Structure formats: C-alpha cells, structure tokens
Amino acid sequence: MASERIPTATRRRIDFATLLGLVVAGSGILGGLVLEGGSLTDIAQYTAALIVGAGTAGAVMVTTPSALIGSALRRLKDVVWEAASTRGALIAQLLQFARQARRSGIVSLEEPANAMVGNPFLKKALMLAVDGTDLQDLRRIMELEIEAVARRGEAEAKVFETAGGYAPTIGIIGAVLGLIQVMKHLEDIEKVGHGIAVAFVATVYGVALANLVLLPAGAKIKARVELMLEDMELVLEGVIGIAEGMNPQLLETKLGAFLDAPEEPVKAAGQRVENPAVKRVPVAE
C-alpha cells in the first residue's frame, strides 16, 4: 500500500532580514554623512570602486580554485532567499512512513521512496533501509554525506570571508594611489585637501564592502548550511528509527527535539496540529 504523498520540495521566500539589514546599514552610514555636512557625491568615486572591486576579485581568484568560486557565487542566492520551514512536514512524513512500515513491512516503502522528489537525502536513506543495509553501515554512509555537505558549505562561506579580508587592504592601496596623485600638486593647497578626501574614499569602499556585504554573506551561508545539516540529521534519525521498527509515537517524541519551540509539526500538506509535546499526531492501529 503506497503512502499518501506529502510534497518534499522546499519552498523558498525572500529573506527580508538581509534586505532590511542592508537598507538600515546603508541608510545609517549615508545619513550620518549628510548630517555631518557631507554629500553623496563625496563618496561617489568610480575609480575607487574599480580599484576595490577588481582588486578584491583578483585576490580571491588567485587564492581560490575557480570551481569553488563558481560554487560560492551560486550559493549567493541563499543570502537573499531562505527556505520556508518544512521541518514539521518532514517529521510528519517520516511518521507516516513509520506507520506504513509497521503495517506492511519496510519493503513497502520502496515505491514511495522511488517516487519521492525534492529530498534526495531522504530518498537515499530510505532506499538503503529498504535494501536491508546494516544500520551501522547506513548511519556511516549517510553521516559521510552530511560531513561532505558541511565541508562544502564551509568552503563556500570561506570564499566570502577571504574576500572580506582582502577588501579593506585593497582599499588602503587605493588610498595610497590617490595620495600619490595628490603629492604631485602640493603647490595648490585647495587641490591637496580635495585630493586627500577623494583618496580615502577607496578605504571607505573597502571597509564597507567587507563589513556590510562579504563577511555577512559568509556568515549567512554558514547559518543556512547549519539548518540544512540539522534537517539531514533529523532525516537520518527518522529513517534509523523506521528501520529499527520504533513505535511511531516514540519516534515522534524523538524527532520533536529537532523542532524549534514556535514551530508546529504538519500532519499533512496544508494542515497543522499542535506541537508534539502537547498533542501527538494520531497513530494508525
């Protein structure tokens, strides 16, 4: 008997915290400049932007393999977009599989596992369990995959952290280049003062790029990867419990530890029930 289909594809939505953070930070910095009597034209220097942007990109290209750079750039979407929470639905699906396995045997999960889309990790773990893989081997195989995902995420975040380390230094180089040009016109004190002000714009660009964009992007990617790893650990514990023949109620209690306090598990697509600590998903006889 095939289990009722519960979609596993992850829904995505705009991460307004990222956008709001950029707006707040940018508004605060630019607003402070205006309140101090400055103007936006004071920091609108395309040459400084060129030096900092190209210099930082070049330094990263020298230190980082090109394949990793491409992977990190693709990961940028996770900074602006976030996955809608589906952990409750994931637990409900695992409980549904557990009930079916207790009724019809774990082999009955082969058909729904083959038809599963959107969660290759769960599909792989279920297929290993259905094939009768030793539980220690199953855990070892899936933990290796979890470790691989963690390493890739760490490496991709490191690309932005590395760029964030280079950007301020490149900004200083831009400022020095500007000062060199200023020193050519010491006979005109007004040009000297203006030139010095313009020269330090590169430093502003470098520090701002590092601390408002690159380093926060690396930290956000790490946070996204941590959530992904928690979901993978949830799936692994759920599948191990199913393979062991664990009572669905006990399995629900075990997996409930992965839920955040405000989150409620999903009984079925589009339906919510109370937190498992308060009210349990009914278990079929």
Domain that holds residue 247: 47-71+86-255
3-22: pLDDT as tens digits: 344 344 456 788 888 889 99
In a domain? residue 279: no
Average pLDDT, the chain: 84
In a domain? residue 133: yes
Number of domain units in the chain:
1
Which pLDDT belongs to residue 11?
Answer: 66
The confidence band for 82, taking pLDDT boundaries of 50, 70 and 90, is confident
In a domain? residue 234: yes
Residue 268 has pLDDT above 50, yes or no: no
Structure tokens at 125: 């773990």
State pTM to two decimals. 0.79
Structure tokens at 182: 């200023």
Residue 187 has pLDDT above 60, yes or no: yes
In a domain? residue 35: no
Burial class of residue 53 (count of CB atoms within 10 Å of its CB; 0-12, 13-18, 19+): middle
In a domain? residue 204: yes
Which pLDDT belongs to residue 88?
Answer: 87
168-177: pLDDT as tens digits: 999 999 889 8
Mean pLDDT over residues 189-218, rounded?
Answer: 86
231-266: pLDDT as tens digits: 999 999 999 999 998 999 999 999 988 887 544 444
Quote the CA–CA distance of 40 and 46 in Å, as a whole number.
13
Residue 271 has pLDDT above 80, yes or no: no
Burial class of residue 272 (count of CB atoms within 10 Å of its CB; 0-12, 13-18, 19+): middle
In a domain? residue 181: yes
Closest CA to 141 of 123, 125, 152: 125
33-66: pLDDT as tens digits: 888 887 888 788 888 899 999 999 999 999 999 9
The confidence band for 275, taking pLDDT boundaries of 50, 70 and 90, is very low
In a domain? residue 121: yes
Neighbouring-strand partners of residue 12 = 83
In a domain? residue 117: yes
Closest CA to 122 of 134, 132, 112, 136: 112
Which pLDDT belongs to residue 43?
Answer: 83
> DSSP strand E in the chain: where?
12-14, 81-83, 266-268, 271-272
Given the structure tokens 């599909």, which residue do they identify?
A: 123
Residue 270 has pLDDT above 50, yes or no: no
